[in-house]
Chains A and B, each alone.
Chain A
Amino acid sequence: MTLQAVVIGTSAGGVQALSQVLPRLPADFPAPVLVVVHVPPRQSNSLVDLFAAKCRLPVKEAEDKEPLAPGTIYFAPPDYHLLVEACGTIALSSDEPVNHSRPAIDVLFESAADAFGPDLAGIVMTGANSDGAQGLRAVYAADGQAIVQIPATAEVATMPEAALTACPDARTMALERIVPALEAMIAR
C-alpha cells in the first residue's frame, strides 16, 4: 500500500482526543487527513481555528469540489456530509442525517473506502453513539487499515466499542500510538 488518505471519526470527547493526535502529524506528512466530528448544527466551525493553532499541517474546512491536497487536514463543515469522489476531490452533501448525524462518519468512511481501497487508513475514536462502525467495516472490507482507539482509554467508549463489534479485526491502539502507526504505513 501507499497511504493516500486518512479518515478520522469521533464524537463526544473528540476535541480532546484529536488534540492528542493531529498536532503530532509531522510537517511533511504526505496524505490528506479528513475529519468528521459531530458538532451541533449552526455552531460556527471553530474547530478549524482551534486546530490550525496547534498543528504543523495546514487545517481547513472542506469545500465542495476541492481537490484533496497532500498533508492537509480537512474538517467537515457543520450540517453537511463530507464525502470523497473516486477522482480524489471533496464532495459535500446535505442529504438526510445518517445515524442522526450530519456530518456522519459512515458517509465519509464508506466513500473514502470506495475511492482509496487499500490505500486508506480509517480511525474511530471516542464517542457516545455508533456512527462510524459500518464505515470502518467498509474500510476494512476494501483492504484498508482499520484502527480503533482502545475503548478503555476513550472518554466515551460507546463509539470505539461499536466499531470493534462491526469490525473485530481492526487494530486497537492508544491515541499516542496512532501517528507512529500512520508513519509506519508511509514508510512501507
Chain B
Amino acid sequence: MGESIEDIEIQLLLDAVYRHYHYDFRHYARASIKRRLLQARSQWGYDSISAIQSAVLHDESILPQLLNFLTVQVSEMFRDPSYFRALREKVVPHLRTYPSLKVWVAGCSHGEELYSLAILFAEEGLFERTIFYATDINPAALRAAQAGVFPLERMRLFTENHRLSGGHTSLSDHYTADYDRAAFSKSLRERTVFSDHSLVTDAAFGEMHLISCRNVLIYFDRELQDRVVGLFGESLVRGGFLGIGSKESLRFSEHADLFAEFVREERIYRRSSQ
C-alpha cells in the first residue's frame, strides 16, 4: 500500500513542530504517535491532522496541549517493585562505595520515579550524599514533579508497591495528606535539580552513577533508541548503572557493548570500563 494521506499529514505535522518549536517527535514509534494524534483530532473536533498543524503553528498556546498527546504520562511510584528491590539489594552496595553520588531520572513524568528513588536512597542512608537530576520534555509534567502532589487515591497502590520493593519505612511518613491529595515532603526534593532536557536533541549529562530511564525508550524507534543508549554511555561513570523499563532492551542498539547486563530480569545494566 502507498503512504496514506493521514501518514503524510502526520509526517508534516511532526516536521512543523520540530522546525518551529524544536520538539522532535519524528523518530518516535509511529503507530502509537498516530493513535494519539487521531485521538487529539477527534477530541478537538478537527477534521484532519493538517488542521492541527495549522492550529499549532499559528497559536502557540496549543503546543502544551499537543505535547500532552504526544508524550505519555502514565507512571506509578515504585512501578515494577522488583526493579526497585534489585536496585536496593544489588546496586546500592556498589553505590555505597562512592563518597558522593549523582542520579539521573530521565523522562521523570510527574515525579513518581524520582520520589521513589529519593525515598529508597533515604532508607538506605545514601540520600545526603546524592544529587538527583530529574528531566523531562513536558513542562507541565516537570512542574507537577516539582510540586510532588498526587491524588490521595493513588497512595494505596504506591504504598503496596513500596512495600513490595523492600521499603523499610512507611510511605505515609513521606507525605502529608489533606482530603484528596498527598503532598510529598519538601526535603525529598531539596537535593534535586529539575530541568527541561530532551533525550532526542540535548547533550549528555556528565558523570552519573545511576541513570534510571524507564518506559521512555519504548516510545522511540530503533535509530533514536540507539542515539539515546549512546548518550547514556557517555553520561555514566565507568561502572555506573543504567536501569530501563521492564519491556525495554539494549539488544537492538549498536552501543549495547558499552554495557554489561547486571540484573538481567530487571533490565539493570552496568557501564563497562573500556
Contact = CB atoms under 8 A, between A and B. Distances in A.
Interface of A: 63-65, 77, 80-81, 83-86, 91-96, 107, 110-111, 114-115, 117
Contacts of B1: 117
Which 7 pairs of residues, A with B, have the shortest CB-CB distance?
Answer: A83-B31, A111-B31, A93-B32, A91-B29, A85-B31, A117-B1, A92-B247
B35 interface: yes
Nearest to A117: B1
A64 B218 contact: yes
Interface string B65-81: 00000001010000000
Interface residues of B, number: 22
Given A93-B218, A111-B35, A77 B30 contact: no
A158 B78 CA distance: 36
A64 B35 contact: no
B159 interface: no
Given A91-B29, A91-B32, A94-B72, 7 more contacts: A80-B247, A92-B218, A92-B247, A94-B218, A95-B74, A111-B31, A114-B34
Interface of B: 1, 4, 7, 29-32, 34-36, 72, 74, 215, 218-219, 222, 225, 245, 247-249, 252
B247 A84 contact: no
A93 B74 CA distance: 10
A7 to B, nearest CB: 13
Contacts of B31: 83-86, 91, 111, 114-115
B154 to A, nearest CB: 14
Contacts of B225: 65
A93 B72 contact: yes
A17 B246 CA distance: 29
Given A65-B222, A92-B218, A94-B218, A85 B247 contact: no
Nearest to A61: B247
Contacts of B222: 65
A45 to B, nearest CB: 11
Q: Is the interface of A mostly helix, strand, loop or mixed?
A: mixed
Contacts of A65: 222, 225, 249, 252
A64 B30 contact: no
B249 A64 contact: yes
A110 B35 contact: yes
Nearest to A118: B1
B249 A93 contact: no
B193 to A, nearest CB: 26
Contacts of A80: 247
Contacts of B32: 81, 83, 91, 93, 95
Contacts of B35: 83, 95, 107, 110-111
A16 B152 CA distance: 39
Contacts of A91: 29, 31-32, 218
B110 to A, nearest CB: 14
B29 A95 contact: no
B75 to A, nearest CB: 9
Q: Which of B1, B215, B248 has the most CB of A within 10 A?
A: B1
Contacts of A81: 32
A35 B73 CA distance: 26
A2 B36 CA distance: 30
B221 to A, nearest CB: 8
Given A93-B218, A114-B31, A63 B247 contact: yes
Contacts of A83: 29, 31-32, 35
Contacts of B34: 111, 114
Nearest to A90: B31
Contacts of B218: 64, 91-94
Nearest to A142: B1
Contacts of A84: 31
10 contacts: A64-B218, A80-B247, A86-B30, A91-B31, A93-B29, A93-B72, A94-B218, A95-B36, A95-B74, A110-B35
Contacts of A117: 1
